[in-house]
Amino acid sequence: MGEELPKRDEWAIQCMERQLVVMDDLADRAAGTAAWLALERQANSYARHLGTWLAKETIFPGARGQMATHQAALAGYAHRAQEQVAGVDAEELEAARAGLGIRLAVIGKGGAGKTVTSSTLARLFAQAGRKVLACDLDVNPGLAVSLGMQGDQGGMPEGSIEEHPGSIYGWQLTGDMTPIQVVEKFASAAPDGVRFLGFGKIGPASEGGGTDKSAAKQSVAALVHLMLGIGEPDWDVIADLEAGPTTPFERYHAFSEDVVVVVGPAWRSAMTARRLLPMVEGRRSLIIANRFRDEPDHPGLAARFRIPFDPELAEVERQGLAPLDACPDSPAIVALRQLAALYLNQEVPV
């Protein structure tokens, strides 16, 4: 009789099985160059994340055989997609690739300006006619308010998550739907048609002195896997990560192709950015200097884009308003419009 697998290995195997469901769904619906390129990208994205598991001997030892098989299966999907676009001319291929949905993680030190950057970009992408999912991966939520939503501080809605003892904190994304189906069914509506999902917050201290962490904990694995599992060619996904290196270390940005590192003028903001950059290696990273007045760039952290210090923005944020609505022409928002255009036109400085 074979030994029973530890629950966490069982969970890892189930995650891989679910990835194949996503791949099959994308393959079944694939029609046209963009769809096949998106499928190839999704296979590579899953494979890259798998690589971070495989790189650590200690993670999921009972699932390593299945991981190798899974790696080969993903390579098979990528190969199939490449065959489908083999006859397409280079220019058309490039145009289709450039039009694929953006996968952007916004990281940086606390208070650097991650939330205002994420929310404003999400809405500007949506205003440009794109389908956008904005995710708040911070247990001190703020993205919903910055998007201009009324409240919505909840975690993943009931029905979108389920228990699994092997998953982090014991909960995971429901297996009844694919990630994009979960988005379509459960994501909240934000202004300009942006769809929103979040961890939910850690509740206020109760009388007994404890706090309710359940919504946030139950949402973590689900939301990270949901974002990683969105392979649609025509959806942009933007995530506002919790400040500092812990969440990138935990690979909350696994879904991303692009990373924005927001850096403020403070020395410690630069120190955080320096620690973050190696964690997001392999992605296209853009360092943004935010809130600088006349301060020089930090040594070794030349910013490729600048958002000026903007007292009007700070004031509307203090009032809990969405900057894009409340100060649409203030200097920081003007800069963020330029940044959105760079992403939309594939002109991101690298």
Ligand X SMILES: Nc1ncnc2c1ncn2[C@@H]1O[C@H](COP(=O)(O)OP(=O)(O)OP(=O)(O)O)[C@@H](O)[C@H]1O
- Whichever of 182 and 220 has its CB closer to Mg ion, that residue is 220
Piece in contact with Mg ion (CB under 5 A), picked from 40-48, 108-116, 126-134, 325-333: 108-116
CA atoms within 13 A on the CB side of 328: 4
- Whichever of 45 and 247 has its CB closer to Mg ion, that residue is 247
- Residue 120 found at the interface with Mg ion (CB under 5 A): no
C-beta separation of 125 from 102 below 8 A: yes
Residue 122 sits at φ, ψ, to 5 deg, of -55, -45
Q: Which of 113, 155, 166, 265 binds ligand X (CB under 6 A)?
A: 113
- Whichever of 23 and 132 has its CB closer to ligand X, that residue is 132
Residue 72 is inside which H or E element, if any?
Answer: helix 64-84
* Alpha helices, DSSP H, located in 86-242: 90-98, 114-127, 143-147, 179-186, 214-228
Estimate to the nearest angstrom the gap between the alpha carbon of 346 and the chain centroid.
19
Question: Distance (Å, rounded) from C-alpha 349 to C-alpha 345?
Answer: 11
- Residue 9 found at the interface with ligand X (CB under 6 A): no
- Residue 269 found at the interface with Mg ion (CB under 5 A): no
Task: Please list, in sequence order, all residues whose beta carbon lies within 8 angstroms of the beta carbon of residue 205, skipping any fewer than 6 positions away.
Answer: 211
- Residue 142 found at the interface with Mg ion (CB under 5 A): yes
- Whichever of 100 and 116 has its CB closer to Mg ion, that residue is 116
- Whichever of 111 and 191 has its CB closer to ligand X, that residue is 111
Give the nearest distance from C-beta 296 to ligand X in angstroms. 17
Give the nearest distance from C-beta 198 to Mg ion in angstroms. 11
Q: Which of 291, 324, 327, 344 binds ligand X (CB under 6 A)?
A: 291
Nearest to 279 by CA among 297, 306, 258, 253: 253
Q: Which of 115, 119, 120, 219 binds Mg ion (CB under 5 A)?
A: 115
- Residue 310 found at the interface with ligand X (CB under 6 A): yes
220 binding partner (options Mg ion, ligand X, none; Cβ < 5 to 8 Å by kind): none
- Residue 307 found at the interface with ligand X (CB under 6 A): yes
| Residue in this structure with the two tokens 């994501």, named with its chain if needed | 187
- Residue 142 found at the interface with ligand X (CB under 6 A): yes
Query: Judged by CB under 6 A, how many residues of this single chain contact ligand X?
Result: 20
Nearest to 48 by CA among 71, 78, 28, 29: 71
| Residue in this structure with the two tokens 């911070």, named with its chain if needed | 138
309 binding partner (options Mg ion, ligand X, none; Cβ < 5 to 8 Å by kind): ligand X
Residue 316 is inside which H or E element, if any?
Answer: helix 311-318
Strand, helix or coil for residue 15: helix
187 binding partner (options ligand X, Mg ion, none; Cβ < 5 to 8 Å by kind): none
Nearest to 115 by CA among 284, 314, 267: 314
Question: Where along the sequence are the contacts to Mg ion (CB under 5 A)?
Answer: 114-115, 142
Binding site for ligand X (CB under 6 A): 108, 110-116, 138, 142, 243, 290-291, 307, 309-310, 313-314, 317, 332
